[in-house]
Amino acid sequence: PNRKTPELLKCAIEPTSAALHQLSVWVWTTGKVPMEWKEGIIISLYKGKGSRTECSSKRPITLLSVPRKVFSQVLLARLQSLLTKHRHPEQSGFTAGRSIMDSILALHLLSEIHREFNHPLRKALQGIGIPDTLLRLIQDLHNGSGAWIRLGNHKSERFYTRSGVRQGCVLAPAPFCRAMDWILKHITANISITISWKLFSDLDYADNVVLLGLDANNLRDTLESFQREAASLGLQVSWVKTKIQSIGANAAIQGIQVDGQTVEAVDNFIYLGSKLLSNGYSEPDVLRRIGIAASAMKDLHRVWSQGKVKLSIKVWTPLKQDMRKLETFHMHCQRRLLGIKWSDFIRNTVIATRTGLERIEVIINHRRWALFGHIGRLGD
């Protein structure tokens, strides 16, 4: 499906754009897409964790036709305003102005406040007024879709794909998030918990969903409703990946049975890369990330000499002891980059002057104010 490469479209922009425009007009008028646009080759990419021999450690990516991707961008542009208008308020996945940080922060804050106070895809798209022309085109892009699996130089026989969206299609996140919004709005209408002035029922980042409940029975009802609504859109819940966690002093849920499946109860869980504990504290997450950073410092020693370091923003609510541990690691990294040993007896203030870096507490406070401004501008 990738015989027409992006370079071909860019280098011969006048003839290819004219031909692509003519083809797009025909597709728009007839509501039918070329068969080549429905085909894809599935390859697997290692996630970076787990055994390379296990399928669960691989992520399937579908290689699709480049002209299809261009046309999908056009469809996405037409869909975006309606999807944004009817977006579930708790949905942060693939949403402009929101990031993974928002969901992590919200979950940590809900956990800490509770601790302190002890407290069908077409159907989904039709419901927000998507025009029939766009619906027909989206449906035709997926109807009769076929794929091959490629491993090295070997390729499987062609097979049909009858459900889901394709990971690798630029259009896929938008209808998928809309499907998740449709499900969650239906199941959370009468299910929520109160945190001070606000009712919360769920937190969403694409397919990473946190469902909130007051007790085991409430949560079981929510999970059963979630499964039913997901099935109506052709989606399946991965019960192996689904976990239950109780927050606060009364954390004693042993597990829940949902449709014959046991949902495991855990004391800690990693959500979007951040570790959440039943007691609501963030110190283990800070220590975990210091360990990850220390391992990265050791494994990527050659990178530091190039002066190109990629920083990722993560969210905690650090205590004073957490600040001290972060400051210690921050200075350790600076000493290592400068080639200074502890036996050289050089003060931290001298090292900070050489690197020109502020103390970690100052950096965190600056980012807190930046985040405060970001949240303030979001409104309701």
Determine the Cα angle at 153 with ends 148 and 159, to 5°: 10
Distance CA 48, CA 57 (A): 8
Q: What is the DSSP secondary structure assignment for residue 239, as one 8-state letter?
A: T
Contact 256, 223 (CB under 8 A): yes
Q: What's the confidence (pLDDT) of residue 163?
A: 66
Host H or E run for residue 135 = helix 132-142
Burial class (CB in 10 A: 0-12, 13-18, 19+), 81: exposed
Q: What's the confidence (pLDDT) of residue 348?
A: 83
Task: Name residue 31's amino acid.
Answer: G
Tell whether the torsion through CA atoms of 91, 94, 96 and 100 is positive or negative: positive
Tell whether the torsion through CA atoms of 237, 243, 244 and 246 is positive or negative: negative
Tell whether the torsion through CA atoms of 267, 272, 273 and 274 is positive or negative: negative
Distance CA 30, CA 182 (A): 29
| Cβ-based neighbour number of residue 217 at 10 Å | 10
Distance CA 256, CA 220 (A): 7
At 173, list the tokens.
Answer: 């996140």
Contact 242, 263 (CB under 8 A): yes
> 3-class SS at 61?
strand
Please report where in the chains the tokens 């192996």 appear, as a residue.
240
Contact 28, 137 (CB under 8 A): yes
- pLDDT < 50: residue spans in the chain: 113, 116-119, 192-202, 312-313
Q: What's the confidence (pLDDT) of residue 100?
A: 58
Distance CA 248, CA 310 (A): 36
Distance CA 329, CA 296 (A): 13
Distance CA 274, CA 112 (A): 14
Host H or E run for residue 304 = helix 301-304
| Cβ-based neighbour number of residue 231 at 10 Å | 14
pTM of the full structure? 0.45
Distance CA 72, CA 76 (A): 6
Q: What's the confidence (pLDDT) of residue 86?
A: 62
Residues 6+ positions from 212 with CB-CB distance below 8 Å: 110, 192, 193, 200, 201, 202, 203
